Amino acid sequence: MFTGIILATGRVASITPTGGDLELGIDAADLDLARVAVGDSVSVQGVCLTATRKDGSCFYADVSRETMAKTTLGMLRPGARVNLEPSLRAGDALGGHWVSGHVDAVGTLHSLVIDARSWRLEFELPEPLMRFVAAKGSICVDGVSLTVNNVAARRFDVNIIPHTLNVTTLGEIKAGDGVNIEIDVVARYIDRLMQHSGPR
């Protein structure tokens, strides 16, 4: 589990094809890799990956064809900046919300508007996911825990404060870009329970 609070950004150091999928090498010089052991989970752009080996400031993870198809990781190029968060440990502060690292869909940035010192970003999602998105609820965008402002049809918008713009990749985003979206895990389970609760 993660919280959606980005602890560092890294850079894609290598992308190595491995029999149909690939191995991703991440230079995580700004992340305390002492807390990441081989076999641990790390959120990379909101995607839960398993660290398979470490070498200096880099860690490596396998990315399956399923993950490449359902997230933006297959579109990364060497040198790309990525958001990083190690998995939550007992006693860590829960500063964002519960995040699993299991991406539901790739959303698209529809518009970006400067709103005082913040950016107001409007994203578009596949219609079936919109029932999980609620005003003032939580959502995870590229691994960042955010609060939803408004919801309309297939779109929702969020405000990104200057700190978040500086310390995550959201400060580099532009209209038309794809982003990894994870809906609130609580909403997912409530929906599943309601499907099996019978008539009321």
pLDDT band with cut points at 50, 70 and 90 for residue 160? very high
The pLDDT value recorded for residue 195 is 78
The pLDDT value recorded for residue 196 is 67
What mean pLDDT comes out for the span 181-187? 89
C-alpha–C-alpha distance, residues 134 and 186, integer Å: 12
**How do residues 93-126 score in pLDDT, each as one tens digit?**
778 898 999 999 999 999 999 999 999 999 999 9
Sorted by where each starts, the structural domains of the chain and their CATH numbers stand as: 8-86 (2.40.30.20), 105-195 (2.40.30.20)
The pLDDT value recorded for residue 199 is 59
Phi-psi region of 45 (alpha: psi -120 to 50; beta: other; left: phi over 0): left
Query: Which residues, in sequence order, are CB contacts of 61 under 8 Å at separation 6+?
Result: 23, 24, 26, 42, 44, 49, 50, 51, 52
**How do residues 7-59 score in pLDDT, each as one tens digit?**
999 999 999 999 889 999 999 999 999 999 999 999 999 999 999 999 999 99
The pLDDT value recorded for residue 86 is 96
Whether the per-residue pLDDT at 191 is higher than 90: the answer is: no
What is the token pair recorded at 168?
């995550």
Residue 146, phi then psi, degrees to nearest 5: -135, 160
pLDDT band with cut points at 50, 70 and 90 for residue 200? low
**For the whole model, what pTM was predicted?**
0.93
pLDDT band with cut points at 50, 70 and 90 for residue 188? confident
Quick one: which H or E segment has residue 181? strand 178-183
